[in-house]
Chains A and B, each alone.
Chain A
């Protein structure tokens, strides 16, 4: 069974600080996705990374796929209260779950004003 470990599980920081969350596995994935889920809503796709070493930027969010395609990170610069939410990573391919996707359990992020 493939596993995606996300860390930290919970993170509460002040507005304006920087942070990084991690998504790690011992398995290789063909691609990896990051979703953000706000309370009471469904997850919304932020980005997909496909190539080992790939870096994608979405405004203040920077996503990186590890060279070996086993891990990924999400870095937020100058965090804002609007960044608050549950961040989920999901790996595709390489014999994942029945639907082809393996989800991490998520990082709960709270940005204090």
Chain B
């Protein structure tokens, strides 16, 4: 069974902390994505990666960075967490030839 696994289901962090969200996929997919999901705003793309060590900004990259050192792992980093980054974060992966995305279970991050 194919899987995208996010390291935490729930996280509570303090304002100003550096936060790491990890995502691992076992499908050998080239493309990986980080979204945040907020009520009334839907899914918004933060960053994506087409290959190891490659990254591209999505629609809302401010305040975030990413790392892709291995094909199966894509990390989202909040350099200095702020309360407006409280959200549900979703990781997804897919091949370059198919737009069907496989999502992780999500990480609900609360910044206090």
Query: Which of B9, B45, B99, B102 has the largest count of A CB atoms less than 10 A from its CB?
Result: B99
Sort chain A's interface into a size bin. 20 to 34
Q: Known contacts being A42-B106, A99-B33, is A48 close to B100, with CB within 8 Å?
A: yes
* Residue among B31, B42, B58 making CB contact with A106, cutoff 8 Å: B42
Are B103 and A31 in contact, CB atoms less than 8 angstroms apart? no
Q: How far is the CA of A97 from the CA of B92 in the complex (A)?
A: 15
Are A99 and B90 in contact, CB atoms less than 8 angstroms apart? no
Sort chain B's interface into a size bin. 20 to 34
Are B99 and A100 in contact, CB atoms less than 8 angstroms apart? yes
Are A41 and B100 in contact, CB atoms less than 8 angstroms apart? no
Are B99 and A98 in contact, CB atoms less than 8 angstroms apart? no
Q: For window 31-67 of chain B, which residues contact chain A by CB distance below 8 Å? A: 31, 33, 40-43, 45, 48, 56-59
25 contacts between A and B (CB under 8 A): A33-B101, A35-B103, A40-B108, A41-B105, A41-B106, A42-B4, A42-B90, A42-B91, A42-B104, A42-B105, A43-B90, A45-B100, A45-B102, A48-B100, A88-B42, A92-B99, A97-B59, A98-B48, A98-B58, A98-B59, A99-B31, A99-B48, A100-B99, A101-B101, A105-B42
Q: Which residues of A contact B (CB under 8 A)?
A: 31, 33, 35, 40-45, 48, 88, 90, 92-93, 97-101, 103-106
